[in-house]
Amino acid sequence: MATETKIQIQPLADRVVVKPLEPKEVKKGGIIIPETAKEKPQEGEIIAAGKGRTEDGKLVPMEVKVGDKILYGKYSGTEIKINDEEYLIMKEEDILGIVK
């Protein structure tokens, strides 16, 4: 189920705006990991998508769409902040897969 997020940005070409999902906190043996030691999430939800890339003068549509939950590389995308919320803008090629 897609979340209702209103942002005022439309990505161009084959770029997407991703809202990183908070990782599920797992505690083993009573050890609590502080926020500063946690790794960046590598799963997110697409909240805006461009129309696709141009190849040989033809538009190639995006394989992902708004609402898809995706996996992306650890250092993928550019971090942006809109209305005190953090997002990533990345190219479609930085997306590793869609979570079903």
Q: Convert the pLDDT of each residue in 66-84 to its tens digit.
A: 999 999 998 899 999 988 8
- Return the pLDDT at 61: 94
Q: Could you read off the pLDDT of 15-32 as tens digits, one per residue? A: 999 999 876 665 556 666
Contact between 57 and 91 (Cβ < 8 Å): no
pLDDT-based confidence at residue 1 (cuts at 50, 70, 90): very low
pTM of the model: 0.77
Rounded Cα distance, 52 and 61, in Å: 4
CA–CA gap between residue 5 and residue 96 (Å, rounded): 23
> In terms of Cα–Cα distance, which of 50, 45, 47, 48 is closest to 14?
50
Distance separating alpha carbons of residues 77 and 86, to the nearest angstrom: 12
Q: Any idea which fold 15-21+40-98 has?
A: 10 Kd Chaperonin, Protein Cpn10; Chain O (2.30.33)
